[in-house]
Structure 1
Amino acid sequence: MEEKDVLFGLGDPNDAYAKYFDGQSYLKRLTTTGGPMANVTFEPRCRNHWHIHHKSGQILLCTMGRGYYQEWGKPAQELKPGDIIHISPEVKHWHGAAKDSWFTHISVEIPAADSSNEWLEAVSDEDYNQLK
């Protein structure tokens, strides 16, 4: 995979959030005001930990590769370019790349007063490895 393959560019290694990811991800901020947006790229097998957006939500616009999104207590759903995921406030979830594919999405934060993210446990290898 090359930088030119990513619609908005690969960005930099996502070092600020690395402790909440298993594997390597890259972050390129697209906007910082209004509804902040970022291009997030995951190397194969990379996924973030379970987390909750308190008082706010998030929208994922899938642009490249193949990945997954899962809400707590529900089966994981496969993601591909063109898929849009709306994550409601207070929903425990994770998202990331498939085992055999890079994956990129645009993350749109939905602004809300006093919002925060709560990072939780990692997605277990046992659960992740069951995905196709």
Structure 2
Amino acid sequence: MDFAIIPEAAVPSPPAATDKFTGGVWQADILPATHPGGMRGNRFTYAPGARSHWHIHTGEQALIVLSGRGLLQWEGLDEPRELAHGDWIHVEPGIPHWHGATADSTFVHLAITATGETHWLNPA
């Protein structure tokens, strides 16, 4: 059995792909998948008002809010839900959703994706 310890200082945080996010977003790929569709972990940092495009996960995902205030919107919800430091979110597979920062706050979260892939849709 192998273990990996990833020092925070060793993880770059380049700008996220502009075809998947709107506004200033930085993505740190902390735990890359070691096999196709396997578990992965990322840290996302959003500038105020920045957000992901709508997307769907084919496997389960957990979001853990590290700092700031964010928003989460999923299909069928009238208004986005506000997220704050310490919140955990269980993202069910197959549900279109987006997440990002409120207009007046930065927002940082971890995304731990258990299995599967992400299918990107339209901007939020």
Q: TM-score, normalised by structure 2?
A: 0.82
What amino acid does structure 2 have at the position aligned with 1:86?
A: H
Residues 89-110 of structure 1 show CA distances to partners (whole Å, capped at 9, x for unaligned) of 0011000000011100001011
d(CA) in 1 for partners of 2:113, 2:20: 17
Structure holding more helix per residue: 1
**Equivalent pairs: percent with the same residue?**
35
Which of 52, 55, 58 is the matching residue for 1:51?
55
Q: Does 1:71 align with 2:69?
A: no
Where does residue 108 of structure 1 map in the other structure? 112
Aligned residues: 110
Residues 45-87 of structure 1 show CA distances to partners (whole Å, capped at 9, x for unaligned) of 1001111112x02110000100101111113110011000010
Q: Can you give the 5+ residue segments of structure 1 that lack an aligned partner in the other structure?
A: 1-7, 124-132
Where does residue 80 of structure 1 map in the other structure? 84
d(CA) in 2 for partners of 1:40, 1:70: 17
Q: Which runs of 4+ in 1 moved over 3 A?
A: none
Q: TM-score, normalised by structure 1?
A: 0.77
What amino acid does structure 1 have at the position aligned with 2:20?
A: Y
Q: Can you give the 5+ residue segments of structure 2 that lack an aligned partner in the other structure?
A: 1-7
Which of 40, 43, 57 is the matching residue for 1:39?
43
d(CA) in 1 for partners of 2:31, 2:21: 22
Where does residue 5 of structure 2 map in the other structure? none
